[in-house]
Amino acid sequence: MAAALQERLQTASGEFQKIQGDLSAAVAARQKLDAQLQENELVKKEFTSLTPENTVYKLVGPVLVQQDQAEAKQTVDTRLEFIRSEIKRVEGQLKDLGEKSDKKKMELVEIQTASQQQPAPAAT
């Protein structure tokens, strides 16, 4: 009986660690998206100070290529929409992983409690 509980504890512990790893990866993705959002919002803010005579350049590999202002603004707006939708997706993922983590933590506590309540094997 104790071996079965130990086996369950090992399995649940491994699953919990995997969930924690996934949670860490999702948090890192969320932070990266936040940085991208801030950067693109800054670019959009800079666009408001442009006059029609200003020239906009886009970095393509190691080369700066001239780009139409309207096209550049549209690209940034599209990128902002995409980043916001990705943030919503990752936040949903974080919520789901947080719930899974809590459930697995409770399962671990239950298994540990059950194993502690078992009588110790008699010494011979």
- Going from the C-alpha of 19 to that of each of 23, 26, 86, 94, 108, the distances in angstroms are 6, 10, 20, 11, 13
In percent, how much of the chain has pLDDT > 70? 94
Instruction: Give the position of tokens 């239950």.
Output: 110
Q: Which H or E run includes 74?
A: helix 69-117
Residue 118: predicted pLDDT: 74
Task: Return the SS3 of 35.
Answer: helix
Packed helices 69-117 and 2-48: angle between N→C axes, nearest 10 degrees = 160
Per the prediction, the chain carries an average pLDDT of 92
Segment 48-68 shows an average pLDDT of 94
- Euclidean distance between CA atoms 6 and 116, whole angstroms: 11
Task: Say yes or no to pLDDT of 121 above 70.
Answer: no
Which among 79, 70, 5 is positioned nearest to 41, based on CA atoms? 79
Pairing state of beta strands 63-67 and 56-60? antiparallel
Q: Which residue has the higher pLDDT, 119 or 52?
A: 52
- What is the tens place of the pLDDT at every residue in 85-120? 999 999 999 999 999 999 999 999 998 888 888 766
